[in-house]
Structure 1
Amino acid sequence: MKPRTIAIFGPSRRFLSGISYYTIRLSNALAEFVDVKAVLFRNMLPKRLFPGWRRVGEDLTKLEFSGKVNVYEILDWYNPFTWVKAYSIAKQTDAIVFQWWTSSVAHMYLAIELLNKLSGKKPVVMEFHEVVDPLEGSILPIRIYSRIMGKLIRKLASHYVVHSEEDREQISRIYKIPKEKISVIPHGIYDHYEKVDNAKKRLGINEEFVILFFGLLRPYKGVKYLLKAFEMLPEDMIKKSRLLIVGETWEDRESVKIAEESLYRDKITIVNRYVPDSEVSLYFSASDLVILPYTRASQSGVAHIAMSFGLPIIATKVGGLKEALSGYAGTHFIEPKSAESIARTIERVYAGKYKNYPPPENLRWSNVAKKWIQLLESISARF
C-alpha cells in the first residue's frame, strides 16, 4: 500500500540543531510525494539542561517548512496532554517516523508508541542519527535511563533507518536488532546555503588559504589533532593560511586552550558560538578546505554543507563518514587521531590549488525522499 500521509516527529527550530535542519529538509522532500505532518518538540527538556540553553528560542535560521507540510509544534516534555494530542494527529496518518538522537525525548516517544499499540497500530519507523551519544554515555544515571527507555522504544518500533552500512552493523550488534529490520537511506545534502561573494574580505581575512573546522566543539570531534597539525605545516604555508574554528564549545575546553596557547595563535580564529545561517554561508564561502578530524561519528551535517559548496574535505575513516563521503571526489580520507596525517594531507590539498567538486546525485533530497517512499510502501504492505 502506498502511504498517503506521514507523521514525522523531531525537534523544532526552538532547540535548533542539525536534527532540526534534517527534520525540515526531510519533511519538505517527502511533501513532494505525500502529505506530511511534522509533529515537533516545543519544550524538549528543561532548558538549563541543554548545553546551548542561552540560544534556545533565537531565530538563527531562515530554513522553513514548505507550505505543503502541516506543522504542529506542540510536544512538551513535562505535559502528557501534549503527547496525547500529538498521537491524535499521528494516528490520522499511514506511518509514523521518529527522529532519534537523544534519550531526552524517550518518554514522549514511548507514550506515543504505547498509544499506537493500544489503538491505531500504525507502522513506526525509528531513524537513528546517533548510535550512542558520548555525553549521555558518560553520565551513569543518564546512561542507565537511556538503556532502559531505549530498549522499550526500540522493541515497539516496526522498522529502523540508518545512514550507512557501518551504522547498520553497529545498531544491529549493540541493540540486538535483526539486520533485515534496518534499512540504509543516505543523509541528504545541505544545499540550502547560498555562496557569498568576497567572503574572505567581508571576514577581514587576508590569507589566501583558509582551513575550516565547523560545528560544536566536543572531545570526539578531534579538534586538538587539527590544531597540532596546523603547527606542523611548513612556515611559509602557515604565513599564507588562516585556521577557522567555528562552533559553540560544549565539553571540549582543551582545544580552546591549545589554540590560545599555540605558537601560531595569530593565525587561528575561534568563533565560540552557535552561528546563524547567514554566517554559515559566509564561513564556507570564505574557506578553501574543510576538515573533519573526528575520532568517532555516525554522520556529519557539516560534511553535507561542505559538499554543497564543492569544497575539498579531509575526513577521518570513522563510522558512517567513510560511506557518506566515499562518492564525493573531493574527499581525502585519513586515519583518526593522527595530527601528522592531517598536516601532510593539508599540504597536498594546498599544492593542488583546492578544486571545486560536484555533489553526489544520490544525496539530492528528491532521491532520498524516493528511497523513503519505497521503504514506507514495503512496511505499510505488512500492516
Structure 2
Amino acid sequence: MKKPLNMLIWQWGRRGAGPKTAVEFSKAVVSIPNVKAFLSLSCQAEILQKDHNVSADFQIQTYTSVLGYLYRVLQAPLMIYKLHQFIKHNKIDVAICTMPGPMDLVMAAALKLRKIPYIVVVHDVHPHPGDGYIFQHFLQKLLIKRSRLTVTFSKYVYKQLIAVNYVPSSQIIQGWHPPFSYWSKNEQLQSVNQEIKLLNFGRLLLYKGFDLLEEALDQISIQQPYTLRIVGQGPKSAVLDRLNKRQNVIVENRWVPEEEIGELMQWADVVILPYREASQSGIAATALAFGKPILITNVGGLSEQFGEDDLAFICEPTVADIAKGLDEILQLNFPLSHRKHDADKEWQDLAEYLIKEITNKLHLS
C-alpha cells in the first residue's frame, strides 16, 4: 500500500466458521504495512467470549431467536446511526463482510450513507440440502448485488456466481480457503499401528454423505481395527441412529466449542468427509494444517482445493469408491510424518492478495 488504508471487517454470526473467518482475516490484515483493520463482531460471538486474545472494535447485539431478529430489525435505524458514527470517526475507506448473515443489510445501509464501498466473501451461492437458510440466501443475494466486489474461495463458487449473474465477472475476485488455526495442548495422540482413529467433523446434515459412509463401512476389506467418531450438530436422522449403533462408531450430536476443535483434530489419525456436495471445505483445510490425512469426495470445489496435496485421498461420491479409499487409509502406517500447513501464513498470503486486488479494482492505492 502506498497510502494508509482503513479496512472494516465484519461478521455478525454467533458461532462456527463465520466469526472465525473474520478473526483469522483480521489477524492477517494487521500484519500488512499501511493497512489498519477494524473488526466488528456480534457481542454474543463464542470466539469473543472464550478467546481472550480476540477483541472487536465494534460489537453489535444480535439475536438468538426469530423474535429477537424481528426486534433487531425494528432497531435498524439506531444501529445504522451508531455504525455510521463509527465509520465516520475511524475514517473507514473500505469494508469487507467475510461471511454473509441476516443482518448485513444494516451495515450496507450505514456504509452507503458514507459512500464507502464494501466487498462480500461468498462461500455458497446456493443453499445446501437441509441448510434451512433459504431466507438468509435471499438476503445474501441483495447484499451481493449492492456490493462493489465479491470474493470466492474456489473456482467452483466463482463459476456459480457468474452463472446466476448477480454481479459482472469483472467484480469477482477468486481466492482460496486457508485452514483455520486451533490450539491443542496434546502434541501427539496418533495411533501406532493399533486402532486407527477416524473423525468426521462438521454439521450433521444428510448432504454430508452419511448414507454413503454407512454402506461403505460394510464394504471395507482391510481388517485393521478402527474407531470412527462423528462429531457435530444437526437434526436427528435414521442413518445417524444406525451408525451410532455400530460397535466401532460413536455419533456425538452436539455443538463443539472453539476450544475443543483443536483437541478433536489432534485426536484423529484421519478425517473422513464423504460429501455428496460441497463448495469448499474449511474443515478439510484445518485437518491438513494439523498434518492429518483426509479422505474426501470429488464434489464441488474439493478436488480443486485439495487435488495437489499428498495428504488428500480423493474419491468419487459412491459407496464402492469411499470403501476403497477407507481400505487405503487403513493400510497406512501411523503416525504419519508429513509437513503441517502454516495456517497463519496462508491467511496472510490470502489477505495480501485480496487487498492488492481490492485496492487495484477500487483505485484505493
TM-score normalised per structure 1: 0.81
Q: How many equivalent pairs are there?
A: 347
Task: Tell me the secondary structure at the aligned position of residue 189 of structure 1.
Answer: coil
Q: Deviations over 1:300-326 (max 9, x none)?
A: 221122011111111111222222212
1:254 is aligned to: 238
1:289-300 correspondence to structure 2 within 5 Å: 289-300=270-281
1:188 and 2:178 are equivalent in the alignment: yes
1:244-323 correspondence to structure 2 within 5 Å: 244-248=229-233, 250-251=234-235, 253-261=237-245, 265-323=246-304
**Residue type of the alignment partner of 1:9:** W
Q: Cα distance 1:113–1:277, how it changes in 2: closer, same or farther (>3 A)?
A: closer
Q: Cα distance 1:286–1:357, how it changes in 2: closer, same or farther (>3 A)?
A: same
**Residue type of the alignment partner of 1:17:** G
Task: Tell me the secondary structure at the aligned position of residue 251 of structure 2.
Answer: strand
Identical-residue share of aligned pairs (%): 23
CA distance in 2, matches of 1:152, 1:171: 13
2:42 is aligned to: 41
Structure 2 unaligned runs (5+)?
Answer: 63-68
Task: Tell me the secondary structure at the aligned position of residue 374 of structure 1.
Answer: helix
1:19-38 correspondence to structure 2 within 5 Å: 19-33=18-32, 34-38=35-39
**Residue type of the alignment partner of 1:292:** L
Shift of 1:127: 0.6
**Residue type of the alignment partner of 2:27:** N
Of 156, 164, 168, 1:166 maps to: 156
Of 169, 173, 178, 1:179 maps to: 169
CA distance in 2, matches of 1:370, 1:314: 30
**Residue type of the alignment partner of 1:365:** W
Shift of 1:364: 1.4
Q: Cα distance 1:114–1:21, how it changes in 2: closer, same or farther (>3 A)?
A: closer
Q: Which one is further off, 278-287 or 344-353? A: 278-287
CA distance in 2, matches of 1:155, 1:32: 31
Task: Tell me the secondary structure at the aligned position of residue 119 of structure 2.
Answer: strand
2:329 is aligned to: 349
Task: Tell me the secondary structure at the aligned position of residue 303 of structure 1.
Answer: helix
1:53 is aligned to: none
Task: Tell me the secondary structure at the aligned position of residue 98 of structure 2.
Answer: strand
Q: Cα distance 1:150–1:136, how it changes in 2: closer, same or farther (>3 A)?
A: farther
Task: Tell me the secondary structure at the aligned position of residue 283 of structure 1.
Answer: helix
Shift of 1:125: 0.3
Q: Which one is further off, 350-359 or 309-318? A: 350-359
Of 102, 106, 114, 2:109 maps to: 114
Contact conserved, 2:294 with 2:311, CA < 8 A, in 1? Answer: yes
**Residue type of the alignment partner of 1:72:** F
CA distance in 1, matches of 2:97, 2:315: 33
Q: Cα distance 1:213–1:2, how it changes in 2: closer, same or farther (>3 A)?
A: farther
Q: CA RMSD in A?
A: 3.0
Contact conserved, 1:190 with 1:304, CA < 8 A, in 2? Answer: yes
**Residue type of the alignment partner of 1:375:** E
Structure 1 unaligned runs (5+)?
Answer: 44-55
**Residue type of the alignment partner of 1:230:** L
**Residue type of the alignment partner of 2:51:** K
Contact conserved, 2:158 with 2:172, CA < 8 A, in 1? Answer: yes
CA distance in 2, matches of 1:210, 1:136: 28
1:85 and 2:54 are equivalent in the alignment: no
Q: Which one is further off, 175-184 or 157-166? A: 175-184
**Residue type of the alignment partner of 1:259:** L
